[in-house]
A and B are shown apart, each in its own frame.
Chain A
């Protein structure tokens, strides 16, 4: 299999993670599309640097998350608050009204976290192990646990005060 086919298969298998990252780091449809395209482009450009000994998804998360940060540089500032993303309303099909309201609240609070916390919580939501989060983020395994607990506390406080 050649490089191009290899890459295409890898992206198609992991496009869900790219979509979720673009959802988490942008605030409108145009920015979301731009970021999605940029992540695929940066992955293609650095595909040769992928070390086959490390997990493909770990490498993809790292490149995609870093690209999301650089995309923020382009837009120069991060809005403090954000509108609720309509796509977030539909991440699960069968929910009642109360669930939907709660989901909107928690998502808007996640959007208020700082960049480091946002990256960690995204990987947590993706059900990544502490070891993998540690490898992608660049902090120790024990620090991952500490930070996740702190973020949970922070979200609880934010939810209680909003």
Chain B
């Protein structure tokens, strides 16, 4: 079958749309009466929950800051607070930017291009977040130990077993995440280069 034949079948498809009519009528009533809520603008629950957890973590560090000492741990705490506040804010801002819908002012080509560009940026940011996550994990341990009054040097097997195992587990997870992101990134970049050809 050639594409031309599919074209003929495609044109004949409109005859089968009768069943859609009733559905469209009801939908039009909902939309024109402002009873319809767009699903495209919704921020996903997982992203909101992630941001709330980060903010609570930052708040916990701020409230317990007077307990943290010496200076090195205080610097780590400040870095952790900055990361816990900034990463979710950047992520939510990026998400909000992706949700702007200039559906009638842009051509299809412009929309496809900006879709893929924002996808590339999003994936790069996610990769960066994974790296910051590892950094956050490392600096949080002495900070939390300081808040709880635990001397890590006296904790059995902490530096020799528990800590290295935590790092290895995170690295395996980060590698898996980065691998899947790299695949998506390549696909997104390939489309951008195809558009330009």
Q: Does A1 contact B (CB under 8 A)?
A: no
Is residue A29 within 8 Å, beta carbon to beta carbon, of the partner chain? Answer: no
Q: A118-151: contact bitstring with B at CB < 8 Å (1 yes, 0 no)?
A: 0101001111000000001111000000000000
Report yes or no: A90 in contact with B21, Cβ–Cβ below 8 A: no
Q: Which residues of B contact A37 (CB under 8 A)?
A: 27, 36, 39
Q: Does B160 contact A (CB under 8 A)?
A: no
- Asked if B14 is at the interface (CB within 8 A of a chain A CB), the reply is yes
Q: Which residues of A contact B99 (CB under 8 A)?
A: 70, 73
B176 lies within 8 A of chain A by Cβ:
no
The size class of the interface chain A forms with chain B is 35 or more
| Contact status B28-A40, CB under 8 Å | yes
Whole-angstrom distance from the CB of A115 to the nearest CB of chain B? 5
The total of Cβ contacts below 8 Å across the A-B interface reads 147
CB distance from A143 to the nearest CB of B (A): 10
Question: Which residues of the other chain, B, contact A65 by a CB distance below 8 angstroms?
Answer: 108, 111
B38 at the binding interface (Cβ < 8 Å): yes
For residue B137, CB closer than 8 A to chain A, the reply is no
CA distance A139 to B24 in the complex (A): 32
Cβ B40 vs Cβ A116 within 8 A: no
Contact flags A9-39 to B (C-beta < 8 A → 1, else 0): 0011001100110000000000000101110
By a CB distance below 8 angstroms, the chain B residues around A19 are 17, 20
Render A62-88 as a binary contact track against B, CB cut-off 8 A, 1 for contact. Answer: 110111011111100100000000000
Q: B residues within 8 A CB of A77?
A: 184
Do A40 and B27 touch (CB < 8 A)?
yes
- Whether the pair B1, A103 counts as a contact (CB closer than 8 A) is yes
Q: A34-B39, A99-B1 are in contact. Are A15 and B107 (CB under 8 A)?
A: no
B interface bracket (residues with beta carbon within 8 Å of A): 35 or more
> What residue in chain A is nearest B36 (Cβ atoms)?
A41
Selected A-B contacts with CB under 8 Å, 18 pairs: A4-B32, A12-B24, A19-B20, A20-B13, A50-B104, A59-B104, A62-B103, A66-B111, A73-B98, A74-B40, A91-B10, A92-B8, A95-B9, A114-B191, A124-B3, A125-B7, A125-B10, A155-B3
Chain A residues in contact with chain B, CB under 8 A?
4, 7-8, 11-12, 15-16, 19-20, 34, 36-38, 40-42, 44, 46, 49-50, 59, 62-63, 65-67, 69-74, 77, 90-92, 95, 99, 102-103, 105-107, 114-116, 119, 121, 124-127, 136-139, 152, 155
